[in-house]
Every structure is written in C-alpha cells, then in structure tokens.
Structure 1
Amino acid sequence: MITKRRGTAGARRARRQRSTTDPKRARGSVLRRRRRRRRRRRRRRRRRRRRRRRRRRRRRRRRRRRRRRRRRRRRRRRRRRRRRRRMRMRMRRRRRRRRRRRRRRRRRRRRRRRRRRRRRRRRRRRRRRRRRRRRRRKWRRRRRRRRRRRRRRRRRRRRRRRRRRRRRRRRRRRRRRRRRRRRRRRRRRRRTHKTTEKNDRSIQTV
C-alpha cells in the first residue's frame, strides 16, 4: 500500500525524534522538555520608506558665446572645352560674350548696446550776500523786523563700508639642521712637582 508522505524531510525527522520508544526523548524527560521549547519567530516589520522631498535648486544658466566659423568657399575652375573645327565649315561664327553679374553681399552689422552709467553730480549752491544801503530819515520811525529762523533737517547718509578680505600668506619655515659639536674632554695631567715635594718632606734627615 502506497502511503503519502506528509510534510518535509525536516518535519519527518522531528516526528521520528519525538517518538516515545527512545527513553531519552520520552515524555517527561528533561531532554524532551528542552527540545520542545519553541523558538518564537520574530515578525519582521516592514519599514515604510518615507519619501523625502527634494528641494529643487535653481541653476543659473551661463550664457555661452557662440563662435561663428567662417566658411571658406572654394572657387571652382571651369575647364574650357576646345572645339574641333571641321574642315568643311568655312563660315566664321560670331562668339557671344556672356556678361557675368556680380552679386554684392550685404553685411549685417550688429548693434552693440552700451550700458551707460549715470553719474550723480552733486551741485553746490553758492549764496551771494547782497548788501543793501539803508537811508536814514528823521521823520520815519524804525521798524523792528523779526527774523524767523528756519530749521533745516540734515539728512544723514549712511556710508557702506566695504570689507576687504586680507589674504594671509603662509610663511614656510626652513628648518636649520644644527650640527652637534663633540666636546673633547681634556685629561688633567697630575703635577709631579708637588708629589716630589711631599716625598722630600717625608724623608727624614739626620
């Protein structure tokens, strides 16, 4: 009788190991309990991709100057065909001269627009003081005139200071190699005359 195999090979192997015939893996054994612990499968969370809004940068278009190439026209040389005169033709034929018309080319001149910079001229007004001669008359009284002082508002103009950027120059320092001088130790020579004097003193004279 053909029986259908159930499950995969790994599932069948696990079913075989779970059988009660094996004393180590029988119900109630420690080993079985350990094996029976099921590992929890962690569900993978699908991360939603956030769409980042890209800021469009405005690109400045640079105007490119187009260089016009001058085309050189090649002049075609026309070859003159020599006609063979037949001996029978004694009558001379008149040759018609063809007039060539020269075409004049008109050159288009481009007008360049010049930008005019307007210069503001400051006009200084000079005041001339006129001296009036007054004639004094005895029978007329002097009238005092009140002078009205007009206050003028001075407009302060703000000057914009332009900051100049100073470029700092980096100075390269040259490293000088110092030569080490070896000092020679001078050996002090012992003076012999002192020792001789001492020896002479130690000698007892009778």
Structure 2
Amino acid sequence: MRIGVVTFPGSLDDRDAQRAVRFADAEPVALWHGDHDLQGVDAVVLPGGFSYGDYLRCGAIAARSAIMTEVIAAAEQGMPILGICNGFQMLTESHLLPGGLIRNEAGSFVCRDQLLRVESTSTTWTSGFSAGEEIIIPLKNGEGGYIADAVTIERLEGEGRVVFRYLGYNPNGSMNDIAGISNERGNVVGLMPHPEHAIEPGFGPDTADAMRSGVDGLRLFRSALESALAH
C-alpha cells in the first residue's frame, strides 16, 4: 500500500508521518502542495504544522492549494484521508469534515500526552481498535478547540461520527470533548492529537507501563493498511 503525505509551506510533521507509514509496513510517498498529482497513492495523510504560517485561519490557505483539489476528489471517491492537527483544520476548511477549529479555550499553546477514548471503529483509520478503548496520543496545538452548530454536533453524535474523545482533561475546550471526527462514509478522519508521535517504543508518550513506551498511534496507520488489504 502506498500512502501519500503532503508537504505544505510550514509543515513540520510530514517526515514523522512518512516514518509512521513506513513503520506500519506501507510505502510513504512524498506529495507536494503545488502539484495536481497524487502519484497513484492508495491513501493520503495531511500532516501537522503551521501551513502558510496559519495566516487567515489555520488550514484556510492550504485547503485551497492545488493538491487539495485532487485530495477532495479522491476523498469523494472513497480514498482514505487522514488529517492530523493542521491537517484536521484543512479538512474542515475544505468542507470534507464539518465544523471548525478555534483558539484553545485557555488562550495558550498546549503540549501534553493526552488520554483519549476510541468512540468509533467503523472508519478506515480506526478499524484496528476496540470501541471504548483508552489510548494515549501526544497533543500539541494552539487552535484545537472543535466547534460546530448544535445540529451538526447532534448529527455527529447520533451517527457515530465522533471518532476520538478527550478523557480526564479537555485540553482546548472542544465541544463535547471531541478530539476527532469522520465523514459519513468513514474514509475521512481528522483528529487534533498526533498519532505519528506514538509509533515506536522509547520515543512515544509515557504510559502506565513505562516512560516513552506508548505506541497507540501506530494502529491508525496499520488500520488503513489492513482495511486496504481486506478489500
């Protein structure tokens, strides 16, 4: 399986995402924001960072880049798309996912190992988890507060499209403690925490077992691979 990782001006986790893809035994493919070519990949990751310096709104300019025309079309055809942090912001700005992300409630940048609950395993990116499972994924953002109108929130909850939820502490004031959501089809997922930083023992978040032992993030990438192999 070939998974493309898009680099935008200001991306800083693109190489980490490529490495996570490699750890999941898939082939990472570097994609460039200014191209109209997905190079025949089977899935796409929109990585974290500060694309275009977060000008206007986080992800707003990146959502209108050349590559996103192809990403949107591919997503509508069912291609798995994962948006991480700034990538999640791009997905909302491009209307592949509803709602938006605003400045953290505390008004400051947050960086922490975050406890999450897996709410949905019916997406391409979470099929390798168990519903209700608690995982630890690093979080680092300044504009991670998820918001949407009441009708949208009700629809997301009712349709099982809240994929991850913050546990123990809501780090950014997201409505309903929402950490990640999916589209109706389940092939597009956006989340604020960074699974690419929890893939290798010794370099992941602290867990109850040992310091830096968390590897829960790797299963997002393996889920996509296993979903592709199943089809």
Normalised TM-score (structure 2): 0.09
Higher strand share: 2
Higher helix share: 2
Normalised TM-score (structure 1): 0.10
Relative contact order, higher structure (CA 8 A, sep 6+)? 2
Q: Please identify the structure whose Cα radius of gyration is greater.
A: 1
